[in-house]
Each structure stands twice: as C-alpha cells, then as structure tokens.
Chain A
Amino acid sequence: MQRFVRPQLMLRGSQQTILPTAGQPCRNSISAVPCVRGRGYSVLPPTNDEEEKAMLHRMMRVDHAGEYGANRIYAGQMAVLGCTQTRPLIQEMWDQEKQHLSKFNEILGDNRIRPTLLLPLWNIAGFALGAGSALLGKEGAMACTVAVEESISEHYNSQIRTLMEKDPEKYTELLQMIKEFRDDEMEHHDTGLEHDAESVPGYQLMKAIIQAGCKAAIYVSQRV
C-alpha cells in the first residue's frame, strides 16, 4: 500500500497558526477525523472576503463529495470483484482515493466547511454504480473507472483554470493540491484504459451515461 508523505510547506505570507503542541490528547475531538493539531499551514488561504470564502467553500464541498463518491464506487467494485484477479488493482486505486478523501475531510474540518447534504445519496449511488459496473466483469469495472476519472479530471482542470484566472500566487497551495489529485485521477484513467476498459460491450454508451451522471452530481453538489 503506497503512502506518500506530503512535505510541510510554509505558505507564503499567510497567517501561521502555530498551535502549542503540548502533547495533550485531543479529547475534544468527537468525530471520526483524527485531531490535526500543530499543523503549520493551511491549504486554503485565509480571507475576509465573503464572496471568495463562499467560492472556496463551494469548491471544497463539491471536491469532497466527489472523492466520497469515488471512494464508494471503488468499494462497490471491490465488493463484486474482491475475490478475483483484479483485486490488487482496485485496492491500489481505492487506497489513493481514500487518501484524497481524508485530505478533504481535514480541509473541511479545519475551515468549518459544510459538507453537502446529498452525501447519503452519493453513498448509495456510488456503491450501486461500482457494483453494477463490476457485474459486467473486469472490463466493465475498468470502463466505469475510465468514465468517472475522466469526469473528475475535467472537473479538477476547470477548478485549476478558475483559480489560475483569479490569482495563482494566492492559491499556490490549493493549486498544488488539486494538480496532484488531478494527476492521480489521470493515472487511474490510464490504468483503466490499459486494462481493457474499451473492450466492454456498449463502452461508448456506458461512458456517456456515467459522465452525464457525474456532471449532474457535480452541478447539484455545488448548490446543495
């Protein structure tokens, strides 16, 4: 299981909240997210502008929903194909998605961002999509992966474009993180193609339907 350690980068010109790491156990934290005291930087730049804050929160909310959905899709695929040869492949991609999700959980918790209300829906829909596509065999699962990862990469790209247009200097950290995640998703996309995604019958139709669904999910998660 690959684990990449992200170096602690100091954000240029931002507020550094250096919390005293007195080693006191975080008894206050009552959620599933582990306490993240003593981190020296924040991915989102601190801002007082309400509109900018709303935009950043919206972006993080939809990204969080996306990673959550991807997580559930892989869980569904694993449930069906867990006893076959594709298990290690799916496991590897799933682990990376889990890391993405935990990063977004951190960001949402630190910045007091509201998660989308539709999470239970993405829970069920993601699992159903993963399991359903895996029932078509390994090629079906790979086709689903290709379609979803392409949608997510497109979405991250448009977010990168938006941030670059606004102020690349200010959003350096955030841009770096999104670029990293986008590269990971592209890797999954390419892996899916390598493993015979296109040989599933009805590939184009399946891809079109899944991508339409992803677009709708992104649109709705930005607003609810």
Chain B
Amino acid sequence: MRSLWLDMAALVRGLRAGRVLRGLGSVQGIVSPQCRNVRRGFHRATLLRLADDSKSGTSVPPPSFHEVPTAGESSSSSEPLEDGQPNTSYQDQSGEHGEDYETEEQLQVRILTSALEFVPEHGWTVEAIAAGAETLGLSSASTGMFNNGAGDLVLHFVAQCNAQLAETLAEQHNLVQLGQAESKETAEFLRDAVEMRLRMLIPYIDTWPQAMSILLLPHNIPDSLKHLSTMVDDVWYYAGDRSTDMNWYTRRAALTGIFNTTELVMVQDSSPDFEETWDFLDNRIKDVVNMANTAKQVQATGEALVQGLMGAAITLKNLTGMNQRR
C-alpha cells in the first residue's frame, strides 16, 4: 500500500517537474525544481511515516497532490501568499476536493500561523515552527517542509500583517465611498495607516529585532522588499494617490523611509503605549509634507522668475528697437 503511494508520488513528481520547468522562464535564481520537488515528496513521506508512528487515528491530512506551480517565486519556498490564487492543479480543476484535502501551501500557512503564538517563547526560530506544528497534531519533523526555516515564519507574519492592513484600508475606503465616513487628509491618513501597521508588531516587539535581522539576510531581501513595496503601494493607493509621473516614485520612497525609521524607533521605545514612536512618526510625516510644500513653492517661484526674465528681455528688445519690423 505504501509502495503504491510512493510510486504515485514519483509519477506525480515527474509530471510536476515538467510543469515547473515550463514555468522556469519567469523564475529567477531558483534551486533546481526537481531537487525541491524531490525534497517535498520526501518531507511529506517523512511527515506521514512519523505521524503514523507517533499517533494513530490523528487528523493528519494526507499529503495531497494538488500543488500549485511555484513559477514566479524567487528564494523562499513557502508560498503563504498564494492562498488566494486559483488552484491550477492538473488533477482537480474545481475548487472542491473530494476528501477534504488541503494544499501544501494551506498546510504551511496553518502551521506558521499557529507557530506565531510560540514566538515570544522561542523567538523567530525553527523551534517555534515545531511547537506550532505540534499544536496542530503534526510531528515536529514537519519543520523540514520549510526550507527557509525562521525566514518563512517571519515572511509569513509580514504577509499576514500586510494583508490585514490592506483589508482594513479597503473597508475604510468603502465606507468613505458610501458616504458613511469622512475622508481623511493625506497626512492624517498616512499617519493612521503606519500606526495601524506598526501596532501589529506590539505582541512580538521584544523579539522583533531578531525578525528584522532575519529579513535582512541576503536570501530574504527580495521577498521582504516585495512585501514592503506592496504595503507602501497599498497605503498610497487608499490614500488616494493616482499619480502617473515621478510623484509615484517619490511618494512611495518617502513612505518607505518613514515606515522603516519609525519601525526602528519602535523597537527601542520604552515609553507607555509607544508614545515616543507615534510622536516621531508625526514629526516625520510633517517633514515630508513640508518638503512637498517647499518643492511646490520653489517651482512656482521658478516659473514666476522665468516669466519675469522673459518680460525683461522683451522690454529690452522693444527699447533697442530690435522688435520692430522695418
């Protein structure tokens, strides 16, 4: 029975490797897909075997063959972000699974979410993931599913926070459009959005420096930058920015700077309810607004100056008679 399962796994791996290779065009710097798939198959085999050995009759979902191709992901192998993607598995096109299988990505998401409660105790480490897995009734060896270890946990948390932020901002946006809420000034909106997002760190603030250093590891930088840029883009979109020129870039760069510096202030802030952090945030936003106003003033002055010069030149031409046509 198990050998039959292993044969099927090998067949599926081969098929899946073919599909991943086709999608390789859009992938950068990826480990050999066959390697990863073999590792995945092996991990699932380990999972199943150990789970069977340790506990009988558990609710371990049998490893499913419904795996979404991971073309487009760069370094980290866990894809908690693709939960919203349609399941493009070749086996089952409909959303319904016959026997309540979940995809590997959904399983990983569940494990990482439950691992978050152990972060205050174990830090952002593989131990936290193992503890989370055990809460779900899986063996602690299921941490082998996460090639990036603690990086997967941190990235999952960041993605979760960003999704929550986007959802809240979208709801507020809807209320404003329906006329049930007042729209905010840009500065106030940005301030509230950044504060909301940073407040999500409060439960983990003691271990957050460790998480930040994990995010700065070279193989995590592409993913963490992607999360950061998506978040900043979301905030500006809901703040009403529809610019299609250099403002698009300068605004997002400014907000990225504000967010990162405020985050740094927050991790070493010991004031009650992080008052100093919010004051710092206020000041930074005021700075940016001032700079924008100053830039506008400089431009207006420049234009007025040019017009003045043109007027002076024309007057001069008139005086010297150069403007006359004889």
A positions within 8 Å CB-CB of B: 19-20, 22, 24, 26-33, 37, 48, 50-51, 64, 104-105, 108-110, 112, 114-115, 117, 119-120
B183 with A28: CB separation less than 8 A: yes
B179 with A24: CB separation less than 8 A: yes
Minimum Cβ distance to chain B for residue A70 (Å)? 15
How far does the alpha carbon of A115 sit from the alpha carbon of B242 in the complex, in Å?
11
Determine whether B167 belongs to the interface, using a CB cutoff of 8 Å to chain A: no
Determine whether B90 belongs to the interface, using a CB cutoff of 8 Å to chain A: no
Top 5 nearest A-B pairs (CB, nearest first) are A28-B240, A109-B242, A31-B243, A31-B242, A108-B244
How far does the alpha carbon of A122 sit from the alpha carbon of B85 in the complex, in Å?
37
What are 15 pairs between A and B in contact, CB < 8 Å?
A: A20-B179, A24-B177, A28-B183, A28-B240, A29-B240, A31-B240, A31-B243, A31-B244, A33-B242, A109-B243, A109-B244, A112-B233, A115-B245, A119-B246, A120-B246
B244 with A64: CB separation less than 8 A: yes
In B205-251, which residues have CB < 8 Å from any A CB? 233, 237, 239-249
Minimum Cβ distance to chain B for residue A32 (Å)? 7
B233 with A115: CB separation less than 8 A: no
Determine whether B178 belongs to the interface, using a CB cutoff of 8 Å to chain A: yes
How far does the alpha carbon of A187 sit from the alpha carbon of B244 in the complex, in Å?
27
Q: Which of B183, B186, B244 lies in contact with A115, CB distance below 8 A?
A: B244
Chain A residue with Cβ nearest B186: A30
Q: Which of A20, A29, A110 lies in contact with B178, CB distance below 8 A?
A: A20
A24-B179, A48-B85 are contacts. A29–B246 as well, Cβ < 8 Å? no
How far does the alpha carbon of A117 sit from the alpha carbon of B177 in the complex, in Å?
31
Determine whether B313 belongs to the interface, using a CB cutoff of 8 Å to chain A: no
A27 with B241: CB separation less than 8 A: no
Q: What number of residue pairs across chains A and B have CB atoms under 8 A from each other?
A: 60
In B259-274, which residues have CB < 8 Å from any A CB? none
Indicate the member of A104, A110, A114 with the most B CB atoms within 10 Å.
A114
Q: Which of B178, B179, B248 lies in contact with A114, CB distance below 8 A?
A: B248
Minimum Cβ distance to chain B for residue A17 (Å)? 11
How far does the alpha carbon of A22 sit from the alpha carbon of B177 in the complex, in Å?
8
B179 with A115: CB separation less than 8 A: no
Minimum Cβ distance to chain B for residue A207 (Å)? 30
A48 with B183: CB separation less than 8 A: no
Chain A residues lying within 8 Å of B240, measured Cβ to Cβ, are: 26, 28-31
A27-B183, A30-B186 are contacts. A115–B176 as well, Cβ < 8 Å? no
Chain B residues lying within 8 Å of A64, measured Cβ to Cβ, are: 244
Determine whether B94 belongs to the interface, using a CB cutoff of 8 Å to chain A: no
Task: Given contact pairs A31-B244, A48-B85, A112-B233, enumerate 10 new A-B contacts (beta carbons under 8 Å).
Answer: A20-B179, A27-B183, A28-B183, A31-B242, A37-B177, A51-B71, A104-B244, A109-B244, A114-B248, A115-B248
Minimum Cβ distance to chain B for residue A50 (Å)? 6
A112-B237, A115-B245, A120-B246 are contacts. A19–B85 as well, Cβ < 8 Å? no
Chain A residue with Cβ nearest B173: A28
How far does the alpha carbon of A32 sit from the alpha carbon of B242 in the complex, in Å?
8
Chain B residues lying within 8 Å of A26, measured Cβ to Cβ, are: 240
Minimum Cβ distance to chain B for residue A66 (Å)? 13
A28 with B245: CB separation less than 8 A: no
Determine whether B72 belongs to the interface, using a CB cutoff of 8 Å to chain A: yes
Indicate the member of B186, B233, B240, B242 with the most A CB atoms within 10 Å.
B242
